[in-house]
Structure 1
Amino acid sequence: MSDPVLPLGGAQYEGLVDVRETGPQGMIALRGDLADASLQEAVTSLTGLPMPDVRGAQVLGESGVLWMSPDELLLLVPHRQAARACAQLSEALQGQHALVENVSDMRAMFRLRGTQLRDVLAKLAPVDFARDALPVGELRRTRFAQVAAGVWLVDDTTAQVFCFRSVAEYMFNLLCTAADPDAFVGFHAG
């Protein structure tokens, strides 16, 4: 097996927020009945994390459970363990109506960090990024300009953004443009 290659080679930018390409990150798409106890057990056993609430992001280090829709989760695992984790999950769900797919190499991830985080994100997506509208640990699937993406806040000054690998450069450039120091807004400051 060859070593994973990041789409942009670990690109980074320092501006109103720091923008960094992160990864590689193991990702498993899981579709099924999220209310099913055996599916929940398989997910929590694999990740060591509880099931998220609607729009929730339960993440610890390289492991996580992201709520994507009423019948879909995105599981985060260390990249080197993704194939094995996918097989383990498929075996645990054998005989159930479920889809398990390793999507690690089709995604790009970016970490944004800084005090102007909410302003930078608000420039790009039709989402209310106010603290009471998007609390830490809540996931949003949206569009950043014309790109489908997901975003969750790790803490008040850190967010993770993911998109398809094929648009990684476009997404990075969008994030950098929004984070340009000459584009300060100051709406969410303080």
Structure 2
Amino acid sequence: MSEPAPALGGARAEGCVTVAELPPQGMISVRGDLSEEGEGVAQALADATGTDLPDVRGIAHAGDNALAWMSPDEAMIFCAYDAAEDLAQALREALTGAHALVANVSDARATFELTGAAVREVVAKLAPVDMDRLAPGEIRRTRLAQIPAAFWMPEEGRLRLICFRSVARYAFDLLAKAAETGAEVHAR
């Protein structure tokens, strides 16, 4: 089996922020009734990740794992790439009999990190989100220009963004262009 590789070979661009493609990230999409009264999906997610399901548009971290609320019936687990399939299989077994879907989507996504004081301004050029109101620990699932994407800020000045691997070049080029020095972005 070949080694996993980032879609763009670790592309990087410097501007008013740094845009960097990250190595492959483990991602598991889980669909089902996420309510506490549901079929045990929320508890299975908590057991698998070490953190409770976060509130709407939240992302919670526990060690190397993160658990994100993606929609009323979807959560996303972020984990080490090498751990994703085993974790997905354990969740499938834990949810046997429940109306739920567990899919390892690691190879279908690309991950980028933006760092610098102007990350909010760079993303605000491309996404219909009030970036002034995005708080660390909040995830947004939206558009980046014409493509679906999701992003969150682990801390001020650092933003993670995921998109489909098939549009990774487009996403990177958008982010790099928006981050060009002198591209009407002013850090706060």
Distance in 2 (CA, whole Å) between partners of 1:61 and 1:3 is 24
1:16 touches 1:184 (CA, 8 Å); kept in 2? no
User: Shift in Å at residue 5 of structure 1?
Assistant: 1.3
Counterpart code for 1:128 = D
In the other structure, the counterpart of 1:90 is: 92
Q: Say which SS state the counterpart of residue 181 (structure 1) adopts.
A: coil
Q: Out of 117, 126, 132, which is 2:128 matched to?
A: 126
Calculate the aligned-residue CA RMSD, in Å.
Answer: 1.3
Tell me what 1:65 maps to: 67
Amino acid at match of 1:159: L
- In the alignment, does 2:13 pair up with 1:13? yes
Code of the residue aligned with 2:176 in structure 1: it is: C
1:10 and 1:111 mapped to 2: Cα distance? 11
SS at match of 1:105: helix
Unaligned runs of 5+ in 1: none
Q: Deviations over 1:34-90 (max 9, x none)?
A: 013722221111111221110001135641111110000011111101111110000
Q: How far is the alpha carbon of 1:4 from its aligned partner?
A: 0.6
TM-score, with length taken from structure 1: 0.94
Matches within 5 A, 1:45-84: 45-60=47-62, 62-84=64-86
| TM-score between the two structures when normalised by the length of structure 2 | 0.95
Any unmatched runs of 5+ in structure 2? none
The 5-angstrom pairing of residues 106-145 of structure 1 reads: 106-130=108-132, 133-145=133-145
Q: 1:145-168 CA distances to partner (integer Å, 9 max, x unpaired)?
A: 111100111111001000000000
- Residue 154 of structure 1 pairs with residue 115 of structure 2: no
Residue aligning to 2:4: 4
CA 1:45–1:150 in structure 2 vs 1: closer, same or farther (change >3 Å)? same
Q: Distance in 2 between matches of 1:110 and 1:60?
A: 21
Q: Which residue of 1 aligns with 2:26?
A: 26
CA offset digits 1:74-119 (Å, max 9, x no partner): 1111110111111000000000000001100000000001001111
Which residue number in structure 2 is paired with residue 169 of structure 1? 169
1:102 is matched by which residue type in structure 2?
Answer: N
Q: Distance in 2 between matches of 1:155 and 1:90?
A: 32
Q: Partner amino acid for 2:131?
A: F
